[in-house]
Amino acid sequence: MLALSIPSPPVSSFQLGPITIHYYALILLVGMIIAVIITNRRLIARGVPSGKVIDVAIWAVPIALVGGRFYHVFTHPTDYFAAGDNVWNIFAIWQGGLAIFGSILFGTVGAWIGCRRAGVRFLTFADALAPGMLLAQAFGRFGNYFNQELYGSPTTLPWGLQISTSSPAYPAGLPAGTLFQPLFLYEMIWNIGGALLLIFVIQRRFDLHRGQAIGFYFLWYGFARTFLEAMRDDPTELWVGLKINEDVAILAAVLGLVLILVTRRREPLDMVDGHAVLEPGSSPAEEARSPREENA
């Protein structure tokens, strides 16, 4: 069975002269670039000038990174504040430990600030970001693979993940050679599938209203994370009988469903490639160029 399992990488970094490059950080950077490129193309299709995504990203990305780390430390206090722990490790982001829900929450605030300053409607930006965000998260999960993290309970499935017993997160009491559910892989596949479904099926076959694409993102991702979190064995804080991340995942899915339903009534059709049915009396050019609306 072990021969059919997924081996974890023996290394998590490489040297570039005197500098240590961690694969986790490098992969996160590539994921961000992917999201920026896709979002820029989708914003252009909605009448937003090229490059505006950078104006928003310079606010959203740093705030998202800080928020993701803060959320992780907050929900895993025993990893950083137990007896004998080095409290300064809370800043060792290169070792892993970025909570996507924290990044989404704080990154949303950063994106809102960036949109206000760049003169881009927030929901327009969010809709453009939705598939790129899913792909970036899928790529980021590959970084979890290099850090030997984001795995679930022991399994006998042939695609079980090998984890080194020297890993700090290796569950105590389990024998060497134990295989684990590769949750990073499940989430990668789910996120890629969601991005492709949104771009090539939903957006082409349905008339989406502004705000529905990002609603789909929250619904799709929150639904999956609810089940994936239940499969994790790592210690985390509980809230109303569930892990905090399970609670947040459920709330994210509910938020997505509410956005899909509410924006259908309150928002105009999303303008993609200049074709949309807008509010009465508006033209695509007016919708794209109105300074009052852009800053609303």
Average pLDDT, the chain: 85
Q: With respect to residue 83, please indicate whether it lies within any of the assigned structural domains.
A: yes
Q: With respect to residue 195, please indicate whether it lies within any of the assigned structural domains.
A: yes
Q: Which pLDDT band holds residue 160 (cuts at 50, 70, 90)?
A: very high
**Average pLDDT, integer, range 160-186:** 90
Give the global pTM: 0.84
Q: 203 exposed, middle or buried (CB, 10 Å; 0-12, 13-18, 19+)?
A: buried
In the chain, the number of structural domains is 1
pLDDT at 34 (0 to 100): 95
**Average pLDDT, integer, range 213-230:** 96
Q: With respect to residue 69, please indicate whether it lies within any of the assigned structural domains.
A: yes
pLDDT 10s digits, 136-155: 999 989 988 998 888 999 99
Q: With respect to residue 92, please indicate whether it lies within any of the assigned structural domains.
A: yes
pLDDT 10s digits, 281-296: 334 444 444 333 333 3
Q: With respect to residue 9, please indicate whether it lies within any of the assigned structural domains.
A: no
- Determine if residue 271 is left, alpha or beta; phi over 0 gives left, psi from -120 to 50 gives alpha, anything else beta: beta
Q: With respect to residue 10, please indicate whether it lies within any of the assigned structural domains.
A: no
Q: With respect to residue 296, please indicate whether it lies within any of the assigned structural domains.
A: no
Q: How far apart are CA 260 and CA 276, in angstroms?
A: 17
**Average pLDDT, integer, range 90-97:** 64
pLDDT at 171 (0 to 100): 84
Q: Which pLDDT band holds residue 49 (cuts at 50, 70, 90)?
A: very high
**Average pLDDT, integer, range 127-137:** 97
With contact defined as beta carbons under 8 Å apart, do 90 and 80 qualify?
A: yes
Percent of the chain with pLDDT over 70: 80
pLDDT at 232 (0 to 100): 84
3-state helix, strand, coil in the chain (%, to 5): 60, 10, 30
pLDDT 10s digits, 243-260: 888 999 999 999 999 999
pLDDT 10s digits, 260-286: 999 999 998 886 654 443 333 334 444
User: How many CB atoms within 10 Å of residue 193?
Assistant: 14
pLDDT at 244 (0 to 100): 84
pLDDT at residue 10 above 90? no
3-state SS, residue 144:
helix
Q: Which pLDDT band holds residue 96 (cuts at 50, 70, 90)?
A: low
pLDDT at residue 157 above 80? yes
**Average pLDDT, integer, range 33-59:** 95
pLDDT 10s digits, 231-244: 887 666 566 678 88
User: The domain containing residue 28 runs over which residues?
Assistant: 20-155+180-288
Q: How far apart are CA 90 and CA 78, in angstroms?
A: 11
**Average pLDDT, integer, range 186-197:** 97
pLDDT at 278 (0 to 100): 37
